[in-house]
């Protein structure tokens, strides 16, 4: 016996604030068990970390869960149930309202190590509403706009991306970098270090300098040891001479006594 899918209850629309969980429940009957598909504004919905599908075999209930619902998730949602006997659809909607959001970084700055002369991009992402003011700092000093260092920012709804691009990086660019986001709800910051390494030829020159310095230290140590040895030999010679002189003096006194 086969039966076409039938929705037992209508799918309830929902209204959620930014960042809250949104759920749609669809109770459906049919034999064989219908295959469930979800659509958002007529486009297929794919499961992700933020979008989860679930089907309860006991209650025959299909559930669509949006873990963090934002403005881009607003719109019509359609559940389609289909088997070889037919199909059925039900449509509902999400209405999202915008709460003001304190800046919060979803992708923070990361430590980077680059060679001198290369270009580097420091990049991070954050959530904020209203749009924040973005400030960049190098070793706690504000970074001015200049040709070699460019600050780029982009916004899409409540999502914001900011990056600092440094061309022809120099050793003086090493240090701590901080990005700060500020709006009416508060502020947030992310910090990371940048290490600028010497190129191979520079490293070779530096290693050569270190080796020459080490050799110089070895030569100085060798000369010091040689001087120390000479000093010891001189001291031993003086001691021997004094000992011989004392012995000769004693011998001379003994001869004088015997002949006297």
Tens digit of each residue's pLDDT (9 = 90 or more) over 125-176 = 998 888 999 999 999 999 987 889 999 999 887 789 999 999 999 999 999 9
Work out the number of other CB atoms within 10 angstroms of the CB of residue 60. Answer: 17
Residue 72 and residue 114 in one domain: no
10 found inside a domain: yes
How many Å apart are CA 14 and CA 23, to the nearest integer? 8
250 found inside a domain: no
Residue 108 and residue 167 in one domain: yes
Residue 46 and residue 64 in one domain: yes
Nearest CA to 108 out of 169, 35, 193 is that of: 193
CATH number at residue 45: 2.60.40.10
Strands in the chain per DSSP E? 3-7, 14-17, 20-31, 35-40, 43-44, 51-56, 61-69, 75-83, 86-97, 101-107, 112-115, 120-129, 133-138, 141-142, 149-156, 159-166, 175-183, 186-197
237 found inside a domain: no
Residue 92 and residue 8 in one domain: yes
240 found inside a domain: no
Instruction: Compute φ and ψ for 109, nearest 5 degrees.
Output: -65, 150
Residue 20 and residue 88 in one domain: yes
Tens digit of each residue's pLDDT (9 = 90 or more) over 187-243 = 999 999 999 988 765 555 555 544 655 565 565 556 666 666 676 666 666 666 666
Residues 6+ apart with CB under 8 A from 224: none
249 found inside a domain: no
What range does the domain containing 92 cover? 3-97
Contact criterion met (CB below 8 Å) for 106 and 87: no
209 found inside a domain: no
Tens digit of each residue's pLDDT (9 = 90 or more) over 69-111 = 887 888 999 999 999 999 999 999 987 666 678 899 989 999 9
Residue 69 and residue 156 in one domain: no
Residue 83 and residue 156 in one domain: no
Contact criterion met (CB below 8 Å) for 65 and 16: no
């Amino acid at each position: 016996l086969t039966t076409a899918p039938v929705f037992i209850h209508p799918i309830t629309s929902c209204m959620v604030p930014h960042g809250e969980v949104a759920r749609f429940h669809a109770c459906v009957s049919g034999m064989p068990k219908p295959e469930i598909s979800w659509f958002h504004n007529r486009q297929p919905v794919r499961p992700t970390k933020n979008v989860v599908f679930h089907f309860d075999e006991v209650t025959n209930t299909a559930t669509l869960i949006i873990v963090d619902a934002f403005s881009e998730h607003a719109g019509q949602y359609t559940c389609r149930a289909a088997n070889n006997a037919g199909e059925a659809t039900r449509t509902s909607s999400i209405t999202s309202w915008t709460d003001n959001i304190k800046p919060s970084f979803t992708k923070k700055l990361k430590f980077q190590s680059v060679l001198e002369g290369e270009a580097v991009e420091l990049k991070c992402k954050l959530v904020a509403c209203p749009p924040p003011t973005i400030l960049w700092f190098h070793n706690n000093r504000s970074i001015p706009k200049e040709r070699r260092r460019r600050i780029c920012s982009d916004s899409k709804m409540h999502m914001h991306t900011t990056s600092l691009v440094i061309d022809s990086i120099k050793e003086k660019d090493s240090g701590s970098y901080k990005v700060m986001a500020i709006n009416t709800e508060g502020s947030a910051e992310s910090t990371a270090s940048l290490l600028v390494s010497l190129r191979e030829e520079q490293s070779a020159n530096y290693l050569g300098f270190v080796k020459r310095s080490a050799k110089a230290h070895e030569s100085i140590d060798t000369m010091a040891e040689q001087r120390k040895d000479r000093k010891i030999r001189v001291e031993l010679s003086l001691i021997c001479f004094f000992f011989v002189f004392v012995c000769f003096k004693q011998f001379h006194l003994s001869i004088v006594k015997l002949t006297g």
